[in-house]
């Protein structure tokens, strides 16, 4: 995917998740591309902007680690509850959306459980 601006409804994925999810832009955003609100690097809060990714397979996640104690084979995934505490990386530093850099399709974030969160679409389709 070439670098493009991310809007509400973009598909996102976690490297440890079982499903993709839909990214949500803050509802009070005043800037749109077409009829979709444009994202910025501050749209990073779990359950508000970043959804669950189904089931988590990261052994850094305490729920997964606990469920797999003594299990020396296949990882038993547990419900994904993203834990993200910082703004998105690689925003467009020279384009601001409501006082923060615009969110780009190449932007990434990290879950506390070591999953890399990235965009699979920009939502503009």
How does pLDDT run across 76-122, given as a tens digit for each residue? 999 999 999 999 999 999 999 999 999 999 999 999 999 999 999 99
Task: Please state, in angstroms and rounded to a whole number, the distance separating the CA atoms of residues 6 and 28.
Answer: 16
Q: How far is CA 49 from the centre of its chain?
A: 8
Query: Quick count: other Cβ atoms within 10 Å of Cβ 125?
Result: 9
User: How do residues 47-66 score in pLDDT, each as one tens digit?
Assistant: 999 999 999 999 999 999 99
- pTM summary value: 0.94
Model confidence at 73: pLDDT above 90 = no
β-strands 100-102, 108-110: how paired? Answer: unpaired
């Amino acid at each position: 995917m070439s670098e493009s601006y991310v809007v509400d409804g973009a598909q996102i994925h976690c490297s440890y998740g079982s499903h993709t999810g839909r990214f949500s832009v803050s509802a009070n955003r005043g800037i749109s591309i077409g009829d979709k609100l444009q994202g910025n690097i501050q749209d990073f809060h779990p359950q508000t902007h970043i959804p669950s990714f189904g089931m988590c397979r990261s052994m850094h996640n305490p729920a997964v680690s606990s469920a797999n104690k003594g299990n020396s084979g296949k990882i038993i995934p547990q419900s994904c509850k993203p834990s993200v505490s910082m703004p998105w990386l690689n925003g467009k530093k020279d384009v601001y959306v409501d006082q923060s850099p615009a969110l780009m399709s190449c932007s990434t974030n990290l879950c506390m459980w070591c999953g890399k969160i990235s965009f699979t679409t920009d939502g503009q389709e």
